[in-house]
Structure formats: structure tokens, C-alpha cells
Structure 1
Amino acid sequence: MCMGIPLRLTEVAADGESALGESRDGRHVERLDLRLVGPQPLGGWVLAFLGAARSVLTAAEAAQVADALEAVAAVQRGEGIDHLFADLIDREPELPDHLKDASA
């Protein structure tokens, strides 16, 4: 399965075209090409796929993606996942603004 991984930039090259990224648990470290997203600050988060940063993430977005990836692994192990989707549990789903008018 091919999925992007959120990585925090721990080392950025002087030219801003590459960086070293690390997952939040430190188990995944990868050299990244930053040319698709442009120069990024040390400590910033990106979504990495096949050795390249594909998009810039906020820390909150990176945590949500990491939780979703952990949920996939937990399901494969036969474990529960509700704790990984705390922002979705016990609330009614909401339509995005662009669909609210269409449902009336």
C-alpha cells in the first residue's frame, strides 16, 4: 500500500531543496526532496511520499494523518481505533459549506 507519511524536518539543506525528515515516533527517517513545496523551516511538517515532500502540513494535520496511519495498523492487528479518531467520535457528521445549500 502506498501512503504519504507525515515527517518533521530535523535538518534542512542550505539551498532549501532537501531536508531530513523524521516521523513523530522517530522510527522513520528519510532524506526528502523539497522542490515541490519550496524551502521549509526547521521543525516544520510535510507529507512525504517516495522521497519527496508533497505538501506542507500544520502540526495538527500531521498528527491527524499519523493517527489515521496508526488506525490502519491497529485494524490489521485486530485492535480498536476509537481513541485515534477522538475528533470524530460522539458528534454528528456535518456537510461541508458548499453542500449545505444543495441539501435544503
Structure 2
Amino acid sequence: MCLGIPMTVIEGDDISALCEGAGRAERISMLLIGAQPPGANVLVHLGTAMRVLDEEEAALIADALAGLDAALAGRTFEAHFADLIDREPQLPAHLRRNLG
């Protein structure tokens, strides 16, 4: 399984940016998405920014990753998945079978 980590751009250009997230700062390749302004949220996988995230999506991903970490450590994790409580999971549109 591959995981993307949400990170926030501190400064950078079209080639790379100093980003912070998940408790660390590192230089990330921006070649796939181009330069982003300071404060922009990006999804990072293997040192490369894959796409720009809005604030809400970045927070949901960060919370889900914190929940996984808590579950693996044997701590309570349910609060990290508050957006999923009291609703049925939904498949993304591209995975839904056309029943019409």
C-alpha cells in the first residue's frame, strides 16, 4: 500500500519546495504540479508532490493517518475518523457498478 502525506509549502519554486508535515520538514520535488505559494497544501509520496489539496482534504488525510498510527499503537482511534461515524461508506464514483 502506498501512502501520501499532506504537507504545507514553506517556500520553493517550479523544481522543489521546502515543505513541512508529519512532524518534519523536507525538500520536495514540485516537478509534477509546478510551483505553489507558501501555505499551499500538497499530497507528497516518495518525496514528490503529487497534487494540491484543499485545507479540508489535507486535514482529513492527516487525521486518518493519525488514526492509523493510534490504532497500530493500541490507542483509541475512533475520534480520528469522525467524518465516517454514523454513515455508510461510499465507493468512489469510478468504482461503482453501473446498474442502469
- Choose which of 4, 22, 28 in structure 1 pairs with 2:24: 28
Q: TM-score, normalised by structure 1?
A: 0.80
Q: How many residues align?
A: 99
Counterpart of 1:44 in structure 2 is 40
Shift of residue 101, structure 1, vs aligned partner: 6.3
Distance 1:97 1:47, change over 3 A: closer
| Structure 2 segments unaligned to the other structure (5+ residues) | none
| Structure 1 segments unaligned to the other structure (5+ residues) | none
After superposition, the CA RMSD in angstroms is 2.3
Q: TM-score, normalised by structure 2?
A: 0.82
Counterpart of 2:75 in structure 1 is 79
The sequence identity of aligned pairs, in percent, is: 45
Distance 1:6 1:97, change over 3 A: closer
Secondary structure (helix, strand or coil) at the match of 1:73 reads helix
Cα distance in 2 between the residues matched to 1:53 and 1:100: 31
Distance 1:51 1:92, change over 3 A: closer
AA of the residue aligned to 1:42:
P
Cα distance in 2 between the residues matched to 1:51 and 1:10: 15
Shift of residue 88, structure 1, vs aligned partner: 0.9
Distance 1:78 1:7, change over 3 A: same
